[in-house]
Amino acid sequence: MHLPAILPWGAAEGFSKQMLLVLLSVVFIAVFFVLAARKQQLVPGKLQFAGEAAYGFVRNGIAKDIIGGRDFIKYVPLLFSLFFFILVNNIYGAIPVIQLPTFSHVGGAYVLAGIVYFTWIAIGVKKNGLRYFKLATVPSGVPWFILPIVIPIEIISNFVVRPVTHSLRLFATMLAGHLIVMIAGSGIEYLVMQESILLKGTSVLVLAGAIAMYMLEALIMVLQAYVFTLLTAIYIEGALHADSH
């Protein structure tokens, strides 16, 4: 199912279908939201209403709820861009013919998780100074003799494992879903080609399973976009309020 590169045509390396999809997603999102937001009226039309609902979901449902306070609006653009960028790129996997979630290749996930990683560290340092690293790794209220164990765990979990899980969670779910749907498709094809009518018949069962997996995968696509954005908001909130954690 992996389509070869577009430029040079058919080669293994080069400008791949994935890259085209990434750029298309940027165009889709930008065009949709600029159109929805362009003619702003107090009583919204259908398009504006849809845009506002989508924007409000990230703004109020994620940024305001998790980060809160008066400063949450500063982080809305990042969260908003992340959510819809990942959402559209995931949904590609559920669209027939395209059927390719961008993040089934790990590169994009690394980039986004990296952006988030440096963002929340920068926010923490800006807010608390270099003391932030102490706040983030030395938990308060822990007896001194446990600290030698706790501090390395905190360092590893916060500064090493966090970005890795953040990126791999997205990548792995997308790749796995993609593979399952692909394998089911191949399996159906294989079974239909069999001579025995009974074996042919079993392909119906696989088809039913494949449809169920497709539905599940579509759900996971939306869910992972939400989870990635939600975790970003939680990391930023943690960096902002490091002293109270």
Name the residues that contact another protein, by CB under 8 A: 13, 15-16, 18-19, 22-23, 25-26, 29-30, 33-34, 37-38, 40-42, 44, 48, 51-52, 55, 59, 73, 76-78, 80-81, 84-85, 102, 105-108, 110-112, 115, 168, 171, 175, 186, 189-190, 193
Kindly tell me which of 15 and 226 has the beta carbon lying closer to another protein.
15
Kindly tell me which of 83 and 214 has the beta carbon lying closer to another protein.
83
Taking the C-alpha atoms of residue 235 and residue 79, their distance in angstroms, rounded to an integer, is 12
CB of 151 to another protein, least distance (A): 28
Q: How far is CA 6 from CA 11, 50, 225, in A?
A: 8, 34, 27
CB of 22 to another protein, least distance (A): 5
Q: How far is CA 155 from CA 135, 158, 201, in A?
A: 11, 5, 55
Kindly tell me which of 43 and 130 has the beta carbon lying closer to another protein.
43
Q: Is 204 helix (H, G, I), strand (E, B) or coil?
A: helix
CB of 21 to another protein, least distance (A): 10
Query: Which of 236, 232, 239, 238 shows the shortest CA–CA distance to 86?
Result: 232
Q: Residue 130: which H helix or E strand, with range?
A: none
HEC string of 82-121 equals HHHHHHHHHHHHHCCCCCCCHHHCHHHHHHHHHHHHHHHH
CB of 118 to another protein, least distance (A): 12
Kindly tell me which of 98 and 115 has the beta carbon lying closer to another protein.
115
Kindly tell me which of 121 and 178 has the beta carbon lying closer to another protein.
178
CB of 2 to another protein, least distance (A): 8
